[in-house]
């Protein structure tokens, strides 16, 4: 690699973090290099140090962490020797960052165009008119609809996939040399993800921008990266060009990443239905969201709801839980009609239906201990004494494969996988008959996902609990579902046993979903985009 082509060189980078009143190693002497216009994929399980290393490429360390060793040289400048003001001048102009949550990256009070052009205008890189023209060019490159006018919208007026692409356009508006992409498509459904990935790659190639692409999705990195670096416990496992890494990884750990998701549950059915949704129509205000939806959940089985964002999956869950009363139709639970509103339901009806949310971070009170989080529903639904609550918490922790010492910890002291296990324990605490799992593995890496799915399958076998599993991940459906319901624009496209749904021929929309699942094959993305033009409803 010629030095004059080298944009970023990181050598012996060491980063540690403060916790338990001492410093702990996070990154342990990692090297990284990147050429102009090149894309490097950073992969590894939770806690590997991917995001920490990516942020260090900007000369930045999160609060509670520090860069304590090594060199970080960007285009000839040693970032560790620059003042904070000098580094801030580089960030947003020559080095940009695209986060996982687009919604959190935008100010809801300003238009997309104002926010896209802000940095370039304020730093004198472009005049206002020139910046706006360039922003529209970027919107077009990102395949956003009506690129000349979409910038006039506010963040809440566009879809999640459109907002993610707008965030990439915002990062590119100052014509940076380097963009750090930190899990930018994790929360997107598969059909939206394909469009976003294609737009990102097209823009990177068109504008010659180098990128570090951080992800736990191996199939995604296969479409985006020229080279892949694998991290584990803050250390490099191996690095190679994408084709070599996918076809002939050297290390056992890398091969184990490639092999996850081997579990697959055979789809089964049952005539005994714990839940029946009958001809339900529901709306937000005057906007119809569900249209004559009928779904049945067999007792002790798992029904997966799949479909892109806006298809009605989470709205169906809101109807079942009483958060959104239907305008027509009914929900039967164990053969009896459920009151349409949460307020109208008895404590016993509430106890029997529980929910696990996508973001474990925001689903738990950070000021409560794990024992308090799990123990509260035990006391509320069962009137248990303090000693009974403690005993039940210990029992539930054992059930989710965590020891009793976790009872005194706070959410901030847990890993992503541990937090989700605590949320599972909280949902199990009332002894429910049905648990609604809303994208519970989408924010987790493959290894942690596999552990959570195995746990849910074991709990179902031991406890006989039924699941509604909302997901956009077809691999997750293969792993956990007995039956599948495909939804599109508020309606059920098809439903049945998993084997039937995944066996051709498919309705056009189901075919589109299945064809949008990324494969660990370089070049798959271009082929998928070409094929989907014929399949889009």
Instruction: Please state, in angstroms and rounded to a whole number, the distance separating the CA atoms of residues 36 and 246.
Output: 23
Write down the pLDDT at residue 204. 84
pLDDT at 200 over 90: no
Mean pLDDT of 383-404: 94
Write down the pLDDT at residue 1. 42
pLDDT interval class at 530 (50, 70, 90): low
Instruction: Please state, in angstroms and rounded to a whole number, the distance separating the CA atoms of residues 53 and 214.
Output: 10
pLDDT at 502 over 90: no
Backbone φ, ψ for residue 22 (5° rounding): -160, 165
Mean pLDDT of 407-414: 90
Say if CB 164 and CB 188 are below 8 A apart: yes
Bridge partners of residue 287, in order along the sequence:
284
pLDDT in tens, 134-176: 999 989 888 788 999 999 999 888 877 788 889 888 988 888 9
Across 67-71, 194-198, 259-263, 302-306, least confident range: 259-263
Say if CB 364 and CB 373 are below 8 A apart: yes
The separation between CA 462 and the C-alpha centre of its own chain, rounded to angstroms, equals 29
Write down the pLDDT at residue 12. 96
pLDDT at 386 over 80: yes
pLDDT interval class at 341 (50, 70, 90): very high
Say if CB 32 and CB 58 are below 8 A apart: no
Handedness of CA 510, 516, 519, 525 (dihedral sign): positive
Mean pLDDT of 390-417: 91
Question: How far, CA to CA in Å, does 452 sit from each of 33, 100, 169, 427, 518?
Answer: 35, 21, 35, 14, 21
| Helix or strand (DSSP H, E) at 428 | helix 416-428
Q: So where are the chain's domains?
A: 273-364+427-503
Backbone φ, ψ for residue 318 (5° rounding): -65, -35
| Alpha helices (runs of H) in 160-291, residue ranges in sequence order | 160-172, 190-207, 218-224, 242-247, 252-259
Label the pairing between strands 6-19 and 22-35.
Answer: antiparallel
Across 125-129, 149-153, 192-196, 235-239, least confident range: 192-196
With helix as H, strand as E and coil as C, how does 224-242 read?
A: HCCEEEEEECCEEEEEEEH
Write down the pLDDT at residue 264. 63
Across 143-157, 417-431, 442-456, least confident range: 442-456
Q: Is the peptide bond before 505 cis (omega within 30 degrees of 0)?
A: yes
Mean pLDDT of 122-143: 89
Token pair belonging to 188: 């997107």
Q: Where are the beta strands (DSSP E) in 20-165?
A: 22-35, 39-43, 65-74, 77-78, 95-98
Instruction: Please state, in angstroms and rounded to a whole number, the distance separating the CA atoms of residues 203 and 213.
Output: 14
Write down the pLDDT at residue 536. 52
Write down the pLDDT at residue 260. 55
Write down the pLDDT at residue 2. 43
Residue given tokens 């579902």 in the structure block: 481
Write down the pLDDT at residue 239. 95
Residue given tokens 């039967």 in the structure block: 332
pLDDT interval class at 534 (50, 70, 90): low
The domain 273-364+427-503 is classified under which CATH number: 1.20.1250.20, 3.40.50.1000, 3.40.50.300, 3.30.300.20? 3.40.50.300
pLDDT in tens, 13-32: 999 988 778 898 999 999 99
Token pair belonging to 245: 């890494």
pLDDT at 261 over 60: no
| Helix or strand (DSSP H, E) at 15 | strand 6-19
pLDDT in tens, 271-294: 899 999 999 999 988 888 999 999
Write down the pLDDT at residue 213. 93
Instruction: Please state, in angstroms and rounded to a whole number, the distance separating the CA atoms of residues 447 and 258.
Output: 10
CB neighbourhood size of 115 (10 A)? 22
In percent, the amount of the chain with pLDDT more than 90 equals 55
> Strand order in 287-298's β-sheet?
287-298, 273-284, 328-333, 336-337
pLDDT in tens, 71-105: 999 999 999 999 999 998 899 889 999 887 777 78
pLDDT interval class at 533 (50, 70, 90): low
pLDDT at 112 over 70: yes
With helix as H, strand as E and coil as C, how does 98-126 read?
A: ECCCHHHHCCCCCCHHHHHHHHHHHCCCC
CB neighbourhood size of 24 (10 A)? 11
**Among residues 46, 13, 71, which one has the least CA distance to residue 233?**
46
Q: Which residues contact 77 (CB under 8 A, 6 or more apart)?
A: 90
60 compared with 529, residue with greater pLDDT:
60
Query: Any idea what the Cα angle at residue 473 is, between residues 468 and 474, rounded to 5°?
Result: 90
In percent, the amount of the chain with pLDDT more than 70 equals 94
> Strand order in 6-19's β-sheet?
22-35, 6-19, 65-74, 77-78
- The mean of the pLDDT values for the chain is 88
Question: SS3 of 205, please?
Answer: helix
Say if CB 307 and CB 513 are below 8 A apart: yes
Across 68-72, 340-344, 412-416, 514-518, least confident range: 514-518
């Amino acid at each position: 690699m010629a030095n004059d082509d080298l944009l970023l060189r990181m050598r012996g980078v060491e980063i540690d973090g403060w916790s338990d009143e001492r410093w702990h190693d996070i990154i342990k002497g990692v090297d990284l290099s990147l050429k102009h216009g090149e894309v490097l994929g950073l992969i590894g399980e939770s806690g590997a140090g991917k995001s920490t290393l990516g942020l260090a490429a900007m000369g930045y360390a999160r609060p509670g962490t520090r860069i304590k060793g090594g060199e970080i040289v960007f285009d000839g400048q040693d970032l560790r020797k620059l003042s904070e003001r000098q580094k801030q001048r580089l960030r947003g102009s020559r080095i940009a960052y695209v986060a996982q949550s687009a919604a959190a990256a935008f100010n809801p009070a300003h238009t997309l165009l104002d926010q896209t052009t802000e940095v370039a205008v304020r730093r004198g890189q472009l005049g206002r008119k020139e910046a706006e023209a360039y922003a529209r060019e970027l919107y077009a490159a990102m395949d956003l609809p009506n690129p000349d006018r979409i910038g006039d919208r506010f963040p809440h007026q566009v879809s999640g996939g459109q907002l993610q692409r707008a965030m990439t356009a915002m990062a590119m508006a100052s014509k940076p040399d380097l963009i750090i992409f930190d899990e930018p498509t994790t929360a997107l459904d598969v059909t939206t993800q394909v469009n976003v990935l294609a737009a990102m790659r097209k823009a990177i190639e068109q504008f010659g921008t180098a990128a570090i692409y951080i992800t736990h999705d191996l199939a995604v990195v296969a479409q985006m990266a020229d080279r892949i670096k694998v991290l584990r416990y803050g250390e490099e496992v191996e690095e190679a060009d994408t084709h070599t890494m996918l076809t002939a990884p050297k290390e056992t750990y890398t091969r184990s990443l490639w092999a996850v998701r081997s579990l697959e549950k055979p789809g089964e059915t049952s005539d005994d239905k714990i839940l029946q949704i009958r001809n339900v129509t529901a709306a937000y205000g005057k906007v119809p969201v569900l249209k004559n939806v009928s779904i049945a959940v067999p007792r002790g089985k798992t029904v997966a709801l799949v479909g892109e964002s806006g298809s009605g999956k989470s709205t169906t869950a809101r109807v079942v839980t009483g958060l959104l009363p239907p305008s027509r139709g009914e929900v039967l639970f164990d053969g009896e009609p459920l009151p349409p509103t949460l307020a109208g339901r008895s404590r016993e009806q509430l106890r029997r239906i529980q929910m696990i949310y996508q973001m474990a971070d925001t689903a738990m009170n950070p000021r409560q201990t794990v024992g308090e989080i799990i123990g509260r529903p035990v006391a509320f639904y069962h009137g248990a004494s303090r000693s009974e609550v403690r005993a039940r918490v210990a029992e539930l922790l054992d059930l989710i494969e965590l020891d009793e010492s976790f009872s005194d910890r706070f959410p901030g002291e847990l890993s992503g996988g541990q937090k989700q296990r605590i949320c599972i324990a909280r949902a199990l605490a009332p002894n429910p008959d049905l648990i609604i799992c809303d994208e519970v593995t989408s924010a987790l890496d493959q290894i942690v996902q596999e552990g959570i799915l195995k746990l849910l399958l074991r709990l179902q076998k031991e406890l006989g609990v039924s699941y509604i599993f909302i997901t956009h991940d077809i691999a997750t459906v293969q792993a956990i579902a007995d039956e599948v319901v495909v939804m599109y624009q508020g309606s059920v496209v098809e439903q049945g046993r998993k084997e039937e749904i995944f066996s051709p021929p498919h309705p056009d929309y189901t075919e589109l979903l299945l064809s949008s699942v990324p494969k660990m094959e370089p070049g798959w993305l271009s082929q998928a985009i070409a094929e989907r033009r014929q399949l889009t409803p």
